[in-house]
Structure 1
Amino acid sequence: MDPSELCFPEAFNSSCKKKVSLHSVNTLIYFGLFFMSLVTTALNLLVIISISHFRKLHSPTYFLLLSLAVSDFLVGLFMFFQIIFINGCWFLGDLLCVLYYVVSGVLISASVGTMVLISLDRYLAICDPLRYSTKVTTKRVQICISLCWICSVVYILILVRDNFQQPGTFNSCSGECVVEIGFIENITDLILTFIISITVIMVLYGRVFVVALSQVQAMRSNIIAIKQKQSKKINVKKSELKAAGILGVVVVSFIFCICPYFCVTLIGKSSLLNTSTMTLLLYLFSFNSCLNPLIYALFYPWFRKAMKIIFTFQVLRSGSSGANIL
């Protein structure tokens, strides 16, 4: 075998073999991942700055979007590790291999948890609007977001705890990055992170969709004979329905991008991060992180206004945080 085909030519007998592919294909993949990583980090950083800076966006719903943007921003940074792993060789050591899987697992778990919270937020806003402001407060949402991230970290560390005892135990050759999860842990992860979470999201948004349709019909039937006070209430309902629709697009795109990853787990595949299939599925999940801010840019006027203020450096002026961008 040609030493150039090995991950570690100096360890001829124990080194893994590189993935064989055309140079033009590798160049295209490198460029595509680098571009997607750059766009993902830049756009989500804009979302983070916008929601953090402007006081008008300091509400429960936007704090949930902030949590999702932080997760997507970290996914964008995480893509750089996927770029160096594209040829099938892992050069960063066995411990960092385990941490690679821990970070990816935490980001997936936190994103799923945030999506559940977003669905619950829209459910309460549409189905129980009179008590929404008392039930869903900023402090409660911040506590829920913090618990979501803390539980995600603890949960993933428990899943991969055996791999920390002797990192690299499951590697068959040098340059491989394999993390093995027990059968019970794998089933538990599938049930909690995928089946229960996705079911809850679909049920909540199914209910939101039904109630939203009934509210739209009611508004259309009474639109002619309304008083000014009632008109304000209807405008509030319209804004809530619009927010539910936009976040529904975010939820659907998330489910579309994450489902293939868990479907592979469902059919009994192990978590081998050096396989082309698992790498492709992680790329699909990463693409969702790039897609979310693009959805905001298309449907949210406040995000476009915030970007204009940021790019024109008006954000540096005193009092800019109080700008009315809604």
Structure 2
Amino acid sequence: MAEWSWVAYTVLEGLIAVACCLGNVLVVCAVCIGIRDSLHEPTFCFLVSLAVADLLVGAAAVPLAVLLDGWVSLTPDLCLLLSCVVLVLTQASVLSLLAIAVDRYLRLHIPLRYKAFASQRRTWIAVSVCWTLSCLLGFTPLLGWNNFSPLAPDSTNTSSPSLTPPCTFLSVISLPFMVYFNFLGCVMAPLLVMTLLYIQIFWSLQGRLKESCPQAKVSLLREKRLACSLALVLILFAVCWIPLHLMNCLLLFYGPQAVTQGTLYAGILLSHVNSAVNPVVYAYRIPKIRQAYSQIWRRFLVRTNCSHGDEQICRARTSSQANQTEMYGSGGKTAP
């Protein structure tokens, strides 16, 4: 039974990795290419940061999760380094979500100063800060809060491949670190701040909608719809990641018997599914990204047909789609 659960886990991880990579590559292309001047808008910059983190989950974190399940024997230092990469990507997602929440809060509460304050330069500095902090927090176990000591008496024997133990995530990452530092400090604290920010955003929007004129309501309703979409992304992150962290709490307080291997696999899969689901949420909830998806898909179909069709017709279609792209992107400097 344990072998079947492992096979199912590995196959599902492979499918999730493919979905993460394809979906988030599409998001990055849609924002950077399909939406004109989108990177001048802080929200879309932070969405790209989140999409890159999700893309790297599929390209790096998921393969590492399978690898760090006892597949290979690595030195403790290398095993720890690879395990920390997974923590860095998770932290990058959390901080990108936090940046999005702060951006929407500032847009609503300092509308007159917002454009001057949230300049493109400051936005990319904020993205850089998010990733720098993610690296600092994710690589914290390398500083000593881990499950092994390189100066242990038998460490001289680890040079022999036959004596090197299989590399697993929890063999090198400390459970107290995962619960007290990573879960409570690096995940729950930002989630609490984001929850309070979105509550304030919706409370403020609801009050303004009651007092505004019909023309102002259109802009406020658009703002509310986008806030709902981004809040949904936050809720999905919490739903997908908190169960795995709660399992770590059970493992810490009640021992290995508290969580079965199959349940742990389900928690890991659920956390990775989050990175594959986000592009779908963007498509259904954010009109600009949905339009950009459609444009990319049409271009792909045209180029596929061009390889078998009339070159002049293909050029006409390409020109027509370029004009449509400009029409969709003409609102790039308005509220997303």
TM bucket, shorter chain: 0.7 to 0.9
* 1:306 alignment counterpart: 292
One of 180, 185, 189 as aligned partner of 1:192: 185
Distance 1:284 1:167, change over 3 A: farther
- Write out the 4+ residue segments of structure 1 that deviate beyond 4 Å after TM superposition: 182-186, 265-268, 274-279, 314-323
What SS does the aligned partner of 1:89 have? Answer: strand
Question: In the TM superposition, what is the alpha-carbon distance from 1:275 to its structure 2 partner?
Answer: 5.8
User: TM-score, structure 1 length as denominator?
Assistant: 0.77
Equivalence for 1:241? 224
Instruction: Note closer, same or farther for the CA distance 1:307–1:234 as it changes in structure 2 (3 Å cut).
Output: same
Unaligned runs of 5+ in 2: 304-317, 332-336
Q: In 2, Cα distance between the equivalents of 1:296 and 1:92?
A: 40
Change (3 A) 1:131 1:216: same
Aligned counterpart in structure 2 of residue 79 of structure 1, from 59, 62, 79: 62
Deviations 1:155-203 (A, max 9, x none): 222233335973997x997324211338578533344213321210111
Shift in Å, 1:150: 1.0
* Aligned partners of 2:71 and 2:167 also within 8 Å: yes
* Alpha carbons of structure 1 residues 36 and 241: separation in structure 2 relative to 1, 3 Å: same
Hey, what does 1:166 align to over in structure 2? 150
1:205 aligns with one of 183, 190, 198: 198
1:208, distance to aligned residue in structure 2 (A): 1.0
- Compared CA separation, residues 182 and 283, structure 1 to 2 (3 A): closer
Q: Structure 1 stretches of 5 or more lacking a match? A: 1-18, 224-230
Q: What secondary structure sits across from 2:3 in the alignment?
A: coil
- What is residue 175 of structure 1 aligned with on the other side? 166
Give 2:328's aligned residue: 324
- Cα displacement (A) at 1:29: 3.3
Contact kept? 1:98, 1:167, Cα under 8 Å: no
Candidates 211, 226, 234, aligned match of 1:251: 234
Match of 1:5 in 2: none
Per-residue deviation, 1:127: 3.1
Asked if residue 128 in structure 1 is aligned to residue 96 in structure 2, the reply is: no
CA-CA distance at 1:84 after TM superposition: 4.6
Instruction: Name the count of aligned residue pairs.
Output: 292
- Alignment match, 1:41: 21
User: Amino acid of the residue matched to residue 192 of structure 2?
Assistant: T
8 Å CA contact 1:89, 1:176 repeated in 2: yes
2:88 aligned with 1:106, yes or no? Answer: yes
Partner letter of residue 150 of structure 2? Q
